Amino acid sequence: MNVNGNSFSLAYSPCPNDTYIFAALTNGLLDDAPRVRVVLDDVEQLNAAAARGAFEITKISYGAIPFLMDRYRILRAGGALGRGCGPLLVARPGHGERIEDFAGKRIAIPGERTTAFLLLQLALGGAPAVVVERFDRIVDAVARGEADAGLIIHESRFTYRDAGLVSVADLGAWWEDASGAPIPLGAILVRDDVTESDASAINTAIRRSLAFARTAEAAIMPYVRRHAFEMNEEVMRQHIGLYVNDYSDDVGESGMAAVRELFARAHAARLLPAAVNARFLA
């Protein structure tokens, strides 16, 4: 509980997994929970805002975390890890069948600090030529021929076939085969100037918010629908079912080990300037 009665700035994406997890906390449906001032934005914008220390609590890509550990620590609740939920590399039919076919081609990505782009670089063994697009615009950019391939996340995973695209590589499957670990996609960070007791209360409130959503979906789904880019009910349900799981409640030892493995591999591949100490809330 926020014993001082202050409110905390909280930023997360409008994607269904985030709005599902945070709906009860955001909308004052939890008794004795910290009060929050909420900003919703695309995850790459949140990555950039975190580099400025803009928010006390923020959703972030694991690909950005190595550059933020000097001012934030990682909460155990509210994040996105799992299996079978990684980013996909998609393209128009006939433009390449393997990820190696796109090593020298132009790829639309959802951001240079996203976990998706970090995984792509690890899989390719280096950085390809890229154009940065907001995640929900990538499928159309590829379909129009503005990029040779696209790295898709979030709802686009369920809708890219509607635009006539095909999957070239499942980078989540690549990661799981290479490491044996679940895929660390996104986390909730708390800024270092938030006290340990308040950070712990926030972590508990996120877990309570998720538990509320699971038992009272009728109360929170209007909020989820209001912010979703893809309004199809089935897509929203698929999205929540894929990205909201046991790791959302607590990253656990296996999740923390997966994060350390990701950072170690990125450092070994010289994609990170230094070894990273992933600081999780105790």
| Res. 275 pLDDT band, cuts 50 70 90 | confident
Helix (H) or strand (E) holding 19: helix 16-26
Percent of the chain with pLDDT over 70: 98
Task: Select which of 154, 227, 239, 267 is catalytic.
Answer: 154
Per-residue pLDDT reduced to its tens digit, 132-166: 999 889 999 999 999 999 999 988 888 899 999 99
- What's the whole-number mean pLDDT along residues 218-224? 96
| Res. 235 pLDDT band, cuts 50 70 90 | confident
Go through the chain and tell me how many residues it has: 282
- Does residue 169 share a domain with residue 198? no
Structurally, the chain folds into a number of domains equal to: 2
| pLDDT score for 4 | 47
- Does residue 167 share a domain with residue 96? yes
| Res. 180 pLDDT band, cuts 50 70 90 | very high
* CATH number of the domain encompassing residue 105: 3.40.190.10
- Does residue 173 share a domain with residue 97? yes
Per-residue pLDDT reduced to its tens digit, 104-132: 899 999 999 999 999 999 999 988 999 99
CA distance 80 to 153: 12
Please state, rounded to an integer, the average pLDDT across all residues of the chain.
93
- Tell which of 179, 196, 215 closes a domain: 179
Q: Are 66 and 263 in contact (CB under 8 A)?
A: yes
- What's the whole-number mean pLDDT along residues 245-274? 95
| pLDDT score for 126 | 86
- Indicate whether 60 pLDDT > 80: yes
Q: How is the chain classified by DSSP, letter by letter?
A: --TT--EEEEEE-SSHHHHHHHHHHHTT-STTPPEEEEEE--HHHHHHHHHTT--SEEEEETTTGGGTTTTEEE-SSS-EEESS---EEEE-TTS-SSGGGGTTSEEEES-TTSHHHHHHHHHHTS--EEEE--GGGHHHHHHTTSSSEEEE-TTHHHHGGGGT-EEEEEHHHHHHHHHSS-EEEEEEEEETTS-HHHHHHHHHHHHHHHHHHHH-HHHHHHHHHHH-SS--HHHHHHHHHHH-SHHHH--HHHHHHHHHHHHHHHHHTT-SSS-----B--
Looking at per-residue pLDDT, the higher value among 5 and 59 belongs to 59
Domain residues for 37?
A: 7-82+183-268
- Does residue 172 share a domain with residue 102? yes
| pLDDT score for 214 | 97
Minimal CA–CA distance to 205: which of 63, 14, 38?
Answer: 38
pTM: 0.93
Q: Is 154 a catalytic residue?
A: yes
| pLDDT score for 3 | 42
* Cβ-Cβ contacts under 8 Å for 105 (sequence gap 6 or more): 96, 128, 129, 148, 149
- What's the whole-number mean pLDDT along residues 32-56? 96
| Res. 282 pLDDT band, cuts 50 70 90 | confident
- Does residue 170 share a domain with residue 35? no
Q: Is residue 278 a part of any domain in this protein?
A: no
- Does residue 154 share a domain with residue 192? no
- Indicate whether 256 pLDDT > 60: yes
- Tell which of 161, 179, 197 closes a domain: 179
- Does residue 214 share a domain with residue 144? no
| pLDDT score for 1 | 40
- Does residue 204 share a domain with residue 140? no
| Res. 5 pLDDT band, cuts 50 70 90 | low
